[in-house]
Structure formats: structure tokens, C-alpha cells
Structure 1
Amino acid sequence: MLTMKQGPISPYVIQLYEWFEHPQVFTLVMENPDPCESLLDFINNNPNMNETTARLIMCQAVQAVLHCIEHSVFHNDIHPDNILLRKHTLELKLIDFGCGHLLSSNGYNRSQYRGIQAYYPPELFTCGRFYATSTNVWALGVLLYEMVNTCSPFCNITEITQAEIRFENPDLSKGERIALTTHTYSFCTEVTNTGRKCPV
């Protein structure tokens, strides 16, 4: 968070105002964007989210991740509970850097992954190693899928490693795609056609 505090700041990343060091803990004084709700709550309260709304949220999420990378920070735990939305404007804030790492071009060992299972990148299991950029792209893809399908694309590790996407939204499984463009639908399902290779 201290690295993120160095300017320029991003409107899409929660701000650290001050911090205090105590013998065994740190106290962080953070921005409090109010009124807001988690993206998870927003998804649950808005099933069949339209593409315009999903695009607005997704563009902000990408900007938040890019800002982290520009500050040499790998969030390592992108999912709907770690994203806040202002209720009336849908302005986004990426929060909770407790699982974060400093960016490393050498990647990270499997034991260093701290995200939730639904967002595990497949190379975590196929290679035992993962990298910030590919993990971020994977997490953003899963995030977009959840927004337009109201569920996770995978329910276990086998489905993740074999790219077996599940469609529980009956509109999507019938091909109606809840008014999604071909590009968005392709982005959500492209993983089934392009295998992810282990970095060399």
C-alpha cells in the first residue's frame, strides 16, 4: 500500500491516507467511499447485467489493475468481494491488498498464491508457478464472466485446468447471451479454444 501511495493516484484504487506502526501490528487509515457495495452484492442484486454496465465496470477494473502494475504491485486477489462500487455512479475502487506482492518478472511459486479458488489461474496447477500479468488477465476474464452470467465459470480445479466452462444462466446456455455482443461472448469463452502454456 505504501508503494501505491506514491503518486500519481488512481480513482480506481482505494487510497491509503496514513499508517502507524505498533509493536505487533500496523494501523492503516484508508479512504472510505460511501455509499457503496461490493461488486459481489451488485452482481447478486442485478442478475442479467447488461453489457453497457458490465463494460463500465470492466473498463475501471482494467484501469485499476494497470495502475497497480505501473506501481510495481501485484494485487494477487482480484474477485468481486475486493471491488467496491459507488451505488449511484458505479465508480469502482479496488480494495484489500493484504495478499499483494511486489511485482516480479520471475513470477511466483504456487505457495504464494493467495486468491480464491474460483479465480485460480490454470498454470498454478499445470506449472506450479504463476505470473502477475497472466494471472491478472485470467482474473479479469473470470470477473467479466461472473458479471454477465451471475455465477463462476468453474466449480473445481479440474474444470479450471481443462477449461470446462459451465453455463448456469439459461439465456446464455441457449445462445441468447442476454444481449451480449459477439466480442464479449467470445472474450468470456475464448479460454476453451486457446490453451494457456506454462511460461518458459
Structure 2
Amino acid sequence: MRKINNDRYLNIPWNPEPLVTEVALLMMMRREPISPFIIQLYDWFEHPKEFTLVMEYPEPCETLDDAMSRRPWSDMFSRVVMMQAVMAVKVCYEHGVFHSDIHAKNFLLMKNQLKLIDFGCGQLLSWNGYESVTYRGAPGYCPPEILTEPRFHAVPANVWSLGVLLYELSNECLPFYDTTDIEQAEFTFQNRNLSKYCRDLIRQCLDRDPSKRPSLEQMLQHPWFKVGLN
């Protein structure tokens, strides 16, 4: 990683010096219990003009975005993928990390297993919320409160992004075309064969009101996740 002038640094509890964000959050994720759904940092080194990160190297793998572009998805496989995506975000919270850039390019897919990558846009978890101007996630996955309110909260923002991901998995396109659509939370389903349970979960996650979106635990308890899975 090349050093740039606007690199962000974070203080983590057990480290005396601030660390660049990517390293700081991956160090947080190294604490036990280590999750199979999170990419692992093994070591890192700082040089005058760059950082070297020694990372887990899953092989063979591809990004979820690349995988979606090459083949259609069954409802069952979408459930397997989404369950792991939700669990990856949940593990981040358990480690005090807010990954604010949840989207298809930030998941690696190895056969049937996901790994969440790229923590450079993240922040330390704060239950008091964040100023909207600090949000650094992908525009197409951005929740409406980022555009309309001065502050936002981690869980509703991530649930919205997961809802966009589920829509993309099941409709082979993004639900919103521009910021106006996002602000109004207006979308239509392109896949006419989508089950009523999947539609319902997407609608819940993409509710314009962040207080009405489900929690991660409620997502995992939704009937769509219960069909055909044990």
C-alpha cells in the first residue's frame, strides 16, 4: 500500500501508536475468535513511502462481483452466500469494527465460502453513530440517511448495504440508478420469479427509515433463510 497524504490513522486499545486504518481494523479482527468469513492479516511492515501487508491468500477464489457476472444464481445458493455475508458483518461488530464498504467487490468467493476484504474505509464501532460526511462506502450501496441526514448509524447502514447486495444477487443488477432513487428508496424487482420471502427481506432491508430496518439477528431469523437450510 502506497502512503498518501490523506491516509487515516486509528488508535486501537492495545497499541501505543496510531495505525493506518486498514492495519488497525485487521488487527482488531485478529483477536479470538477468528472468523472464517474475514480475510486475515498475518503481519505488516512500514516503509518510508509504503506499507507492506502480509495477507491470507485464498486460492482459488474470485470476487463475488466477478462470480455474479459469469453465472446465474439459484435461490438456495443466494441464501448460502447471504447468510455468510450477514455473519461476516456481525463478526465485525463483535470485534468492535464497522466495515462501512459492504458490496460485491469486497467479498471473495471460494466455492461456497465468502471472505470479507478491504477494511480501508472502515471505522472503529461507535453505537453513537457517525457524521454522514465521514461515510466512504460505494455510492451504489449508500443508504439514504447518508444523503439526507447529518448522522448515521452502523447497523442500519450495513443492513441497507446487505439489502442492496441481496437485490443484486437475486436480480442481477443494482436496485437504484441514482441518488434520487436512493433518497426515495424506490426500486422495482427485475426477477419475476423471486420468492415472496426474498422480496419481503429485501423490502425490509431497503426501508427508507433506518429505524424500521431489521437487525442482523432479525435478518438471520427471516423465513427466507429458513427455507431448505439447516
Give the alignment's TM-score, normalised by structure 1. 0.87
Determine whether 1:79 maps to 2:92.
no
Q: One-letter code of the match for 2:91?
A: H
Of 149, 156, 166, the match for 2:178: 156
Q: 1:6 aligns to what?
A: 31
The Cα of 1:140 is off from its aligned counterpart by 0.6
Q: 2:96–2:125: 8 Å Cα contact kept in structure 1?
A: yes
Cα distance change, pair 197–82 in 1 and its aligned pair in 2 (3 A): closer
Q: Unaligned regions of 5+ residues in structure 1, if any? A: none
Question: 1:34 is paired with a residue of what secondary structure?
Answer: coil
Q: One-letter code of the match for 1:141?
A: G
Q: 1:56 aligns to what?
A: 80
Cα distance change, pair 127–92 in 1 and its aligned pair in 2 (3 A): same
Q: 2:226 aligns to what?
A: none
Percent identical pairs in the alignment equals 49
Question: 2:42 is paired with a residue of what secondary structure?
Answer: strand
Supply the distance in 1 between the matched residues of 2:50 and 2:128 (Cα, whole angstroms): 30
The Cα of 1:163 is off from its aligned counterpart by 1.1
Of 39, 48, 52, the match for 1:23: 48
The Cα of 1:124 is off from its aligned counterpart by 0.7
The number of residues matched between the two structures is: 187
Q: Following superposition, which runs of at least 4 residues in structure 1 exceed 6 angstroms of deviation? A: none
Q: Unaligned regions of 5+ residues in structure 2, if any? A: 1-25, 213-230
Cα distance change, pair 105–191 in 1 and its aligned pair in 2 (3 A): closer
Supply the distance in 1 between the matched residues of 2:51 and 2:210 (Cα, whole angstroms): 39
Q: 2:144–2:208: 8 Å Cα contact kept in structure 1?
A: no
The Cα of 1:198 is off from its aligned counterpart by 7.3
Q: One-letter code of the match for 1:135?
A: A
Q: 2:198 aligns to what?
A: 184
Q: 1:70 aligns to what?
A: 94
Q: 2:218 aligns to what?
A: none
Q: One-letter code of the match for 2:193?
A: E
Supply the distance in 1 between the matched residues of 2:203 and 2:90 (Cα, whole angstroms): 23
Supply the distance in 1 between the matched residues of 2:205 and 2:62 (Cα, whole angstroms): 30
